[in-house]
Structure 1
Amino acid sequence: METGETTPVTNARGQLVIIGGAEDKEGDCTILREFVRRAGGTQARIVVMTVATGLPDEVGRTYTEVFERLGVDDVRIIDTASREDGSDPRALEAIEKATGVFFTGGDQARITSNLKGTEVDAAIHRRYAEGIVVGGTSAGAAMMPDIMIIEGDSETNPRVNVVEMGPGMGFLPGVVIDQHFLQRGRMGRLISALAQQPAVLGFGIDENTAIAISDNKFEVIGEGAVTIVDESGITHSNVGEILKDEALAVCGARLHVLPHGYKFDLQTRKPILD
């Protein structure tokens, strides 16, 4: 591993459910069902964070209906439409009582601009360290690392200027996460993102697919797959030699594609096959 690279190991006691977007909300709801189960089942107290979306009422209502249909009686919506909302006493009280916090999709830049560094942000991180489940879909997945993809081109070859990076929310440091992965052809974007920061693991999560993380291991849930790019053993990269719009070369990276039921160890950076 090169100097400056980070290993994606978290000491938090809580769990993460990171969804690639477009998860089933009408059928078996496999992924959202697993989120509810991990958050306490019918005794769960769930806070839905709609900060990423421009349609907080509509999106909040959709998730409230799904969680209530799965048996959760206590579902609360928090919309931090401005940074001032990040110190709302009602929001802080709801988070204090929550067993699960769920971030909807939308624009991940809205999450960091409106929420990062606020009292609500600090409360969620503290409750996560105490053992609650934090979930997120689409934009709510992209924001999970300490450095996140803000935006970038899909269906393109890797180049440094393909993707814009910025500070994430830091629930899972040391990785890069991209969503809608297969559906939007984002392999080049993910490799480009890895080249810009010291993480060595990139996770591309397909739609209606999630990784559920606990104890530094994750399990894949859903109908698609998770593509893992591991650059810890690369033998060559031209990233220090090229201009921003020139093609990126990476040699010796490892690739794993894991469907439903497969597991991965974040510490050893290896699939769990036994």
Structure 2
Amino acid sequence: MQVRNKPLLAAAFLLASASNPALAAKDYTYSYLGNPDYAKSSPTPISCAQGDCSPSVALVGGGYDVGEAFRWMIARAGITKVTGGRFVIIRATGSDAYNPYIYSRLGEVDTTTSRNYEMVGGVDLGLTSVETLVIPNRAAAEDPFVLNVIARASAIFIAGGDQADYYNKWQETSLNKAIQKAIRAGIPVGGTSAGTAMLGEYAFAALNGSVESTKALKDPFNKYMTIDPLNTSSDKFVQKGPFLNVSSLDNTITDPHFNTRDRLGRLFSFVARIGNGCTGGVENFSDVVGMGIDEETALLISGKPGKARAELAVNPYNPENTTPAYTAQNSAYFIKYNRAPSKCVDGKPLVDNTGIQVYRLSAQPAKPSPYPAAPQFSFRVAATFNVADWAAQAVQTYGDGSSLSGPYYYGTADGKVLGNAVY
């Protein structure tokens, strides 16, 4: 469950209502903290200042938000106290509780949770406003006011929820195109949970509901495997290309809540389905990458396609996020086939012939000592991962016997990844 779905804060609501009384009659809702019209110089995204406007993407794995990921987005947007900047949250359902979380002071803690994690501190980092748009239908996704807010954003973040809502209500709309235009202009983009699932070139759209690892492995073509834009398991897609095209995530599919929901097995099936080792696959099987992100963990990707690098931003170790199958915490997983599956057809179990490579990028070893109780601050780790050049990765072995180098079958589908076959 996404923490930012808590009830609407009265202060933010009153501020929006007082400034925008006409908005209550619209299909969307809009609220903000700060002053969206306070004009300073326009920030220049870091990548554009470096001459290429390559995308900066924050993929958050769900659960409690990672403050350092938002601070990274603010920095990548080029926002300073001199420039100011507008941080825009978009969602199909939910409240504006991100506004005070981001438009806060450095060192403030969120007292609504027992863990007292810190808030973002965007005021001290130069933000002049944080704005939330709840865009619940296709009419709202065409509204000129909504599109103007997106066009003026310095950073855009897609909240959690149900990704089927995003596909059904936003795909092939002017909003969809406006987000894509912002990405091409180097505006940092991020998401959590369902928002993260939307950001790869390929995406699990959940149009028929979610799918567990066991079911995905038993039949990678079952009715729940709706993958945009394969368009092979559902008649609900209205577009032919990906929902969004982030160049550093070409041939990529992302999966959040990775540790707590045992999703490695289904990511095996997602990656297999996209590759030409499966019936109907459209990419070279060895070019497809799956990225799984643990809860309370953010995978931060920047740089040109082919040279993009990923690093982690994480919250302190939280034992509530571990399960008997997953002993590691604060990790991101990179999945790739170095050999085509020997069987990947409709109605049959996926047989992989041990061709799967799994790399794990972790913020700390498995089962670390607990961090101080409170306040607890998120942090960024120095370890980085070149998402294109797998051969160049340094090998790292963890206390639980796993290795960054793979191949590594890790606690998926109740242990039902065995030998040369997936059952």
Q: Which amino acid aligns with 1:32?
A: F
Alignment of 1:220 with 2:323, yes or no, is no
Alignment of 1:14 with 2:55, yes or no, is yes
Residues 146 and 120 of structure 1: is their aligned pair in 2 closer, same or farther, counting only changes over 3 Å?
A: same
Alpha carbons 2:257, 2:295 under 8 Å: kept: yes
Query: Residue 3 of structure 1 corresponds to which residue in structure 2?
Result: none
Q: TM-score when scaled to structure 1?
A: 0.83
Deviations 1:211-259 (A, max 9, x none): 111112221221410011111x2264311xx442424334222111101
Alignment of 1:67 with 2:102, yes or no, is yes
Residues 134 and 188 of structure 1: is their aligned pair in 2 closer, same or farther, counting only changes over 3 Å?
A: same
Query: Residue 263 of structure 1 corresponds to which residue in structure 2?
Result: 384
Corresponding residue to 1:154 among 205, 208, 212: 212
Query: Residue 227 of structure 2 corresponds to which residue in structure 1?
Result: 165
1:36-185 alignment, distance < 5 Å: 36-39=74-77, 40-41=79-80, 43-51=84-92, 54-55=93-94, 58=95, 60=96, 62-69=97-104, 70=121, 71=123, 72-151=127-206, 152-156=210-214, 158-159=217-218, 160=220, 161=222, 163-167=225-229, 168-171=243-246, 172-185=249-262
Corresponding residue to 2:274 among 187, 191, 197: 197
User: Whose radius of gyration is greater, 1 or 2?
Assistant: 2
Indicate the structure with greater strand content. 1
Query: Residue 186 of structure 1 corresponds to which residue in structure 2?
Result: 263
Alpha-carbon shift at residue 178 of structure 1 (Å) = 0.6
Alpha-carbon shift at residue 190 of structure 1 (Å) = 0.5
SS of the aligned residue for 2:245 comes to coil
Taking every aligned residue pair, what percent have the same amino acid on both sides? Answer: 26
Q: What 5-or-longer segments of structure 1 have no aligned partner?
A: 1-10
Structure 1 distance, partners of 2:259, 2:292, is: 8
Alpha carbons 1:47, 1:75 under 8 Å: kept: yes
Task: Tell me which stretches of 4 or more aligned residues in structure 1 moved more than 4 Å.
Answer: 270-274
Alpha-carbon shift at residue 208 of structure 1 (Å) = 1.0
Q: TM-score when scaled to structure 2?
A: 0.55
Structure 2 distance, partners of 1:94, 1:105, is: 20
Structure 1 distance, partners of 2:144, 2:190, is: 22
Alpha carbons 2:159, 2:195 under 8 Å: kept: yes
Q: What 5-or-longer segments of structure 2 have no aligned partner?
A: 1-51, 105-120, 230-242, 276-286, 316-329, 364-380, 396-423
Structure 2 distance, partners of 1:50, 1:270, is: 38
Query: Residue 229 of structure 1 corresponds to which residue in structure 2?
Result: 335
SS of the aligned residue for 2:75 comes to helix
Structure 2 distance, partners of 1:16, 1:235, is: 29
Residues 189 and 222 of structure 1: is their aligned pair in 2 closer, same or farther, counting only changes over 3 Å?
A: same
Structure 2 distance, partners of 1:20, 1:250, is: 29
Structure 2 distance, partners of 1:205, 1:92, is: 30
